[in-house]
Amino acid sequence: MTASNSTPVRVMVLDTWEEISLTVPASTPIADVKRAALVRSRVRRPAAEYVMKYNGAELYEAGNTLGQAGVPANGALIVLRRRRAPVR
């Protein structure tokens, strides 16, 4: 997913505490970025069980792109479980 108009982003996947660097066009759907980060960090759960956040706010995936969400170059995104696991 690289092109001359691509934007680098950093995605922290909290399940693995791994930061994934991706270079994607601003027109990339948020759901695709989330899926790519989960695949690269080897998470096996369905992507629907996770949310993506930027600056503490959830990015709604329904047809929205990184550009529409206002994610800048080298923006830091977080992918975490939709429902938190209980602590024992």
How many domains is the chain partitioned into structurally? 1
Cβ proximity of 13 and 36 under 8 Å: no
- The span from the CA of 39 to the CA of 43, in Å, is 6
Residue 87 included in any domain: no
Tell me if residue 33 falls in helix, strand or coil. Answer: helix
Q: Is residue 45 within a helix (H) or strand (E), and if so which, with residue range?
A: none
Residue 38 included in any domain: yes
**Domain boundaries, position 53:** 6-81
Residue 88 included in any domain: no
The beta-strand segments (E) located in the chain are 6-13, 18-25, 50-54, 57-58, 75-81
Domain CATH for 60: 3.10.20.90
Residue 19 included in any domain: yes
Question: In this predicted model, what pLDDT tens digit does every residue of 17-76 receive, in sequence order?
Answer: 999 999 999 999 999 999 999 999 999 999 999 999 999 999 998 889 999 999 999 999
Q: pTM to 2 decimals?
A: 0.85
Percentage of residues of the chain with pLDDT beyond 70: 92
pLDDT at 83: 80
